[in-house]
Amino acid sequence: MAALKYAGLEDTDSEEELPPGWEERTTKDGWVYYANHLEEKTQWEHPKSGKRKRVAGDLPYGWEQETDENGQVYFVDHINKRTTYLDPRLAFTVEDNPVKSTTRQRYDGNSTAMEILQGRDLSERVVIITGANSGLGFETAKSLALHGAYVILACRNMSRANEAVQRILEEWHKAKVEAMTLDLASLHSVQHFAEAFKSKNVPLHMLICNAAVFAAPWSLTEDDLEATFQVNHLGHFYLVQLLEDILRRSSPARVVMVSSESHRFSEIKNSSGKLDFSLLSPSKKEFWAMVAYNRSKLCNILFSNELNRHLAPHGVTSNAVHPGNMIYSSIHRNWWVYTLLFTLARPFTKSM
């Protein structure tokens, strides 16, 4: 105790609490060291516990590490527009030789995209997201971009797509985001998009097929196909085929099909149990908007399953996902009845 008192360590409440005159700092590669301002010296070991530590995980989104003219590491918080020499990860340090945790992170209906990606470094990843100017697509694009990925927003409306890009850049000015034209209701547009992307000579690690129309009235595309079927399924099917070679070369890569639980309430077989192609692109007389949407989502799942069987041996996985029931976005905009239903359900469903 006499030695601790002489060293000025006896009046700290915790083994981890620093004595007066000491400061905790980090190196560029995340190792923690301790500065003694009274004696003007530094050391790797904690002055009280003798432990060596390092910070765990990556910086929170919006933060960036810089070095001043004296070689001192400091941190920039772009969200709150401030700088500090204190590493925001110091609250989550681990010992030099930690025991590997056996606890898995668990997520639930309240988890956000930013929470899922916390600590992930996606700086070497290239991502294409269809329909990314609003709703689920935008939240996905923003989350991936703020974690370092190069994200391409593939959208029909370039004005809204460029606005979405600016909103992401306002959160982090170094985000790598770009908008490109893609109209899934035109197979020519799909082909043109694929050619434009290939001309960039970059890999493709994630293709997220998110764009969709819901409860849209019957109409035919320029390719003489029913619009819901082409936009929700066939356009994506063609896009994947055109980009398959890049996905293979970029492995490990993945394709994500945003489907829906509503696929369970559909059928694409006739009374004889055989596939009925006329149900996929029905005439106006046989068209019902909700059924058309459900069938397109079933096609998403069937395609994803077969695509995974086909590409998994080449390092490319495919998954179909259900984003949640009646999430309030702009997808219900085509009919006021659905807008009312989504509004009534909003307090009880997952939000953006």
Give 3-state DSSP helix, strand, coil % of the chain, rounded to 5. 35, 20, 45
The SS3 of residue 86 is coil
User: What length does the chain have?
Assistant: 352
Concatenated DSSP letters for 12-42?
Answer: -SSTTSPPTTEEEEE-TTSBEEEEETTTTEE
Sign, Cα dihedral of 164, 167, 169, 175: negative
Distance CA 148, CA 164 (A): 17
* Long-range Cβ contact pairs of 187-194 (< 8 A, separation 24 or more): 187/223, 187/230, 187/234, 187/235, 187/238, 188/222, 190/235, 190/238, 190/239, 190/242, 191/238, 191/242, 193/154, 193/239, 194/239, 194/242, 194/243
What pairs with residue 155 in β-bridges? 181
Whether the CB-CB separation of 257 and 299 falls below 8 Å is answered with no
The closest of 238, 229, 230 to 266, measured between CA atoms, is 229
Distance CA 38, CA 348 (A): 57
User: Which residue bears the tokens 């085509």?
Assistant: 334
Distance CA 170, CA 165 (A): 9
**Active site annotation includes 33:** no
Distance CA 172, CA 59 (A): 13
Maximal CA-CA distance, the chain:
93
**Of the residues 74, 293, 328, 338, which is catalytic?**
293
Annotated catalytic residues are 293
